[in-house]
Amino acid sequence: MAEPDVRFSLANERTFLAWERTALGMLGGGAAVLHLLDRAVMVWVLGGLLLAGGAGSAVLGWWRYRAADRAIAAGEPVPPLVLAPVLAGAVVLAVAAALASAFV
């Protein structure tokens, strides 16, 4: 069996790091919201959404990395990412909560 092209593995690692960078940003944002803003209900919702989205992004990034790594090693197509819309929905909800807390 031939070795897979190293460019695919490196691209997969860069994608994984992008997921983890997103997770760190969301976790840091959630912690900052909960620490720095008043304890209103919308602040708790926003902080919770950011923390949940960050945790989800970290787990989803790792899951995606492993699935793509297996597919690359086997010479198969990379499986589609079906949970990305869930993470995108969490980001949209966080933005809506941020807007709602800014105008309330």
pLDDT digits (tens, 9 = 90+) for 47-64: 998 899 899 899 999 999
In this predicted structure, what is the pLDDT of residue 16?
Answer: 96
Q: Check: CB of residue 26 under 8 Å from CB of residue 53.
A: yes
Interatomic CA distance for residues 69 and 77, integer angstroms: 11
pLDDT tens track for 74-100: 999 998 888 888 878 878 888 888 888
- Tell me whether residue 88 is exposed, middle or buried, using C-beta atoms within 10 angstroms of its C-beta: 0 to 12, 13 to 18, 19 or more: exposed
The model carries a pTM of: 0.81
Nearest of 57, 36, 59 to residue 46 by alpha carbon = 36
Interatomic CA distance for residues 69 and 66, integer angstroms: 5
What letter represents residue 101's amino acid?
S
Interatomic CA distance for residues 41 and 77, integer angstroms: 45
pLDDT tens track for 4-28: 789 999 999 999 999 999 999 999 9
Return the structure tokens found at 39: 């304890």
Residues in the chain: 104
In this predicted structure, what is the pLDDT of residue 51?
Answer: 93
